[in-house]
C-alpha cells in the first residue's frame, strides 16, 4: 500500500484519543504503585466499571453528558475504594507478601469482569453518542480532525498537568512523595499513610473514570472485557515511563498509542491482528536497553 504524508498525518491525529486513554490509565497505575509499591491489576476493571456507569445512566435515564461523565468517575472511584478496603488493606495487614497481594488483586480483576459478564453478557453494547462531540474539522490540506479527539486530548492534557502540579506543589502531594521515597521515615514525622493510599486510589480511579468516558466516546462501545487489553497497555505505558513518574507515564501512553496505530497503518489490513506485537516488542526492547524505564531510574512519584 502506498504511503503518503497525508495518510500518516491522519493516522497520527486519529491516534491522539487512544494515546490519551493510555496516558490516563498509566498515571493511575503509577500513582498507586508509588504509594504501595504494588501494581493494582484490577485497574482495568475500575476503568470498565466507570464506562458502564456512564452507559447505564445515559442510556436508561437519558441524563446529560456531564451527568454521565461524573457518574463514570463516581463508579470508578467507588470501585477503587472498595478494592483498596476489601482487597489491599486486609492483605497488607495480614500478609504483606507481594505474591499474596498480586493474587488477590488478580482475583479481584477476574471476579469483577465475570460479574459484569454475568449481568450484561459478553457482547458489545453501544455507548451513547453526544451531539456536541460529533463535529469534524477539515483542514486546508484535507486532514480530518474529530471534535471528540480534540476534547479527549484537551481533557487529558489538563489532567496530566493538574496531577503533576498537585504532586509537586501541594501539601498532600508532597506527603505522597515522602511516603514513596521512605514510608517509615514519613510515618515517623506524622504522615498518615492510610489517608494517602486512599488519595492515590482516588486520583487513579478518577483518571480511570475519565479515560473510560473517553474510550466510550471515541470507540462507541462498552463490554465487560474492555478493561483487560486497554488496562494491560496502560500498565505497559507506566512501566516504560519509569513507574512512579507521572509525566513519564503520560508520555509513554502517547508513545504506545501512536506507535501502535502507526504500526498497524504501515501494514496491510490482513495483518491488523498482530497489533499487540508492537506493544510487547517495545516493552521488551526498552526493558532490555533500560530496565528502569525511559524517563527515570527511581521508583518515586513526581
pLDDT at 223: 95
Question: What is residue 84's DSSP assignment?
Answer: I
Q: Is the C-alpha dihedral spanning 113, 115, 121, 124 positive or negative?
A: negative
In 46-166, which ranges are E strands? 125-126, 136-138, 144-146
pLDDT at 299: 47
Q: Is residue 292 part of a domain?
A: no
> Residue 35 belongs to what H/E stretch?
helix 5-36
Q: Which residues contact 192 (CB under 8 A, 6 or more apart)?
A: none
Q: Which conformational region is residue 45 in: left (phi greater than 0), alpha (psi within -120 to 50 degrees), or beta?
A: alpha
The yes-or-no verdict on residue 294 having pLDDT over 60 is: yes
pLDDT at 298: 47
Q: Which residues contact 243 (CB under 8 A, 6 or more apart)?
A: 29, 30, 33, 34, 249, 293, 299
The yes-or-no verdict on residue 209 having pLDDT over 90 is: yes
Q: Is residue 272 part of a domain?
A: no
Q: Is residue 286 part of a domain?
A: no
Q: Are 127 and 51 in contact (CB under 8 A)?
A: yes
Please report which confidence band the pLDDT of residue 134 belongs to, taking 50, 70 and 90 as the band edges: confident
Q: How far is CA 292 from the centre of its chain?
A: 20
Per-residue pLDDT tens for 255-284?
999 888 888 777 776 666 677 787 888 888
Please report which confidence band the pLDDT of residue 288 belongs to, taking 50, 70 and 90 as the band edges: confident
The yes-or-no verdict on residue 302 having pLDDT over 90 is: no
pLDDT at 143: 82
The C-alpha cell that represents 9 in the structure block = 498525518
Per-residue pLDDT tens for 42-74?
999 999 999 999 999 999 998 999 999 999 999
The yes-or-no verdict on residue 1 having pLDDT over 60 is: no
How far is residue 53's CA from residue 61's CA, in Å, rounded to a whole number?
A: 11
pTM of the model: 0.91
Q: Is residue 148 part of a domain?
A: yes
Lowest mean pLDDT among 22-26, 108-112, 175-179, 216-220: 175-179
Per-residue pLDDT tens for 90-100?
888 887 677 88
Percent of the chain with pLDDT over 90: 53
Q: Are 223 and 164 in contact (CB under 8 A)?
A: no
Please report which confidence band the pLDDT of residue 207 belongs to, taking 50, 70 and 90 as the band edges: very high
Q: Is residue 81 part of a domain?
A: yes
Per-residue pLDDT tens for 138-153?
877 778 888 999 999 9
The yes-or-no verdict on residue 16 having pLDDT over 80 is: yes
Mean per-residue pLDDT of the chain: 88
Question: What is residue 88's DSSP assignment?
Answer: I
Q: How many domains is the chain partitioned into structurally?
A: 1
Q: Is residue 8 part of a domain?
A: no
How far is residue 153's CA from residue 175's CA, in Å, rounded to a whole number?
A: 29
At CA 151, angle to CA 293 and CA 51, rounded to 5?
Answer: 75
pLDDT at 301: 62
How far is residue 152's CA from residue 262's CA, in Å, rounded to a whole number?
A: 19
Q: Is residue 106 part of a domain?
A: yes
Q: Is residue 260 part of a domain?
A: no
The yes-or-no verdict on residue 170 having pLDDT over 80 is: yes
DSSP SS3 for 299: coil
How far is residue 180's CA from residue 116's CA, in Å, rounded to a whole number?
A: 34
Q: Is the C-alpha dihedral spanning 175, 181, 182, 185 positive or negative?
A: negative
Q: How many helices (H) and strands (E) does the chain have?
A: 12, 4
Looking at the DSSP bridge assignments, the partners of residue 154 are: none
The yes-or-no verdict on residue 24 having pLDDT over 90 is: yes
| Domain that includes residue 205, residue range | 16-230
Per-residue pLDDT tens for 241-259?
888 889 999 999 999 998 8
Amino acid at each position: 500500500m502506498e504511503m503518503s504524508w497525508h495518510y500518516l498525518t491522519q493516522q497520527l491525529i486519529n491516534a491522539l484519543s487512544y494515546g490519551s486513554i493510555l496516558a490516563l490509565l498509566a498515571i493511575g497505575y503509577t500513582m498507586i504503585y508509588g504509594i504501595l509499591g504494588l501494581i493494582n491489576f484490577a485497574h482495568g476493571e475500575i476503568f470498565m466499571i466507570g464506562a458502564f456507569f456512564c452507559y447505564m445512566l445515559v442510556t436508561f435515564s437519558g441524563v446529560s453528558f456531564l451527568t454521565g461523565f461524573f457518574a463514570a468517575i463516581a463508579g470508578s472511584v467507588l470501585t477503587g475504594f472498595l478494592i483498596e478496603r476489601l482487597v489491599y488493606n486486609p492483605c497488607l495487614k495480614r500478609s504483606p507478601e507481594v505474591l499474596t497481594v498480586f493474587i488477590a488483586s488478580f482475583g479481584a480483576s477476574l471476579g469483577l469482569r465475570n460479574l459484569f459478564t454475568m449481568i450484561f453478557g459478553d457482547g458489545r453494547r453501544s455507548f451513547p453518542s453526544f451531539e456536541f462531540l460529533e463535529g469534524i474539522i477539515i483542514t486546508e490540506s484535507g486532514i480530518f480532525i474529530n471534535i471528540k479527539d480534540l476534547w479527549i486530548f484537551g481533557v487529558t492534557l489538563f489532567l496530566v498537568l493538574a496531577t503533576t502540579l498537585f504532586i509537586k506543589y501541594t501539601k498532600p502531594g508532597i506527603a505522597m512523595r515522602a511516603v514513596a521515597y521512605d514510608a517509615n521515615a514519613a510515618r515517623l514525622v506524622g504522615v498518615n499513610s492510610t489517608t494517602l493510599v486512599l488519595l492515590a486510589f482516588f486520583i487513579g480511579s478518577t483518571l480511570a473514570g475519565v479515560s473510560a468516558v473517553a474510550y466510550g466516546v471515541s470507540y462507541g462501545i462498552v463490554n465487560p472485557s474492555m478493561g483487560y487489553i486497554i488496562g494491560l497497555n496502560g500498565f505497559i505505558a507506566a512501566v516504560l515511563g519509569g513507574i512512579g513518574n507521572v509525566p513519564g507515564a503520560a508520555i509513554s501512553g502517547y508513545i504506545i498509542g501512536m506507535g501502535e496505530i502507526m504500526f498497524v497503518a504501515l501494514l496491510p489490513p490482513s495483518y491488523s491482528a498482530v497489533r499487540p506485537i508492537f506493544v510487547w516488542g517495545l516493552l521488551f526492547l526498552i526493558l532490555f536497553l533500560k530496565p528502569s524505564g525511559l524517563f527515570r531510574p527511581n521508583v518515586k512519584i513526581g
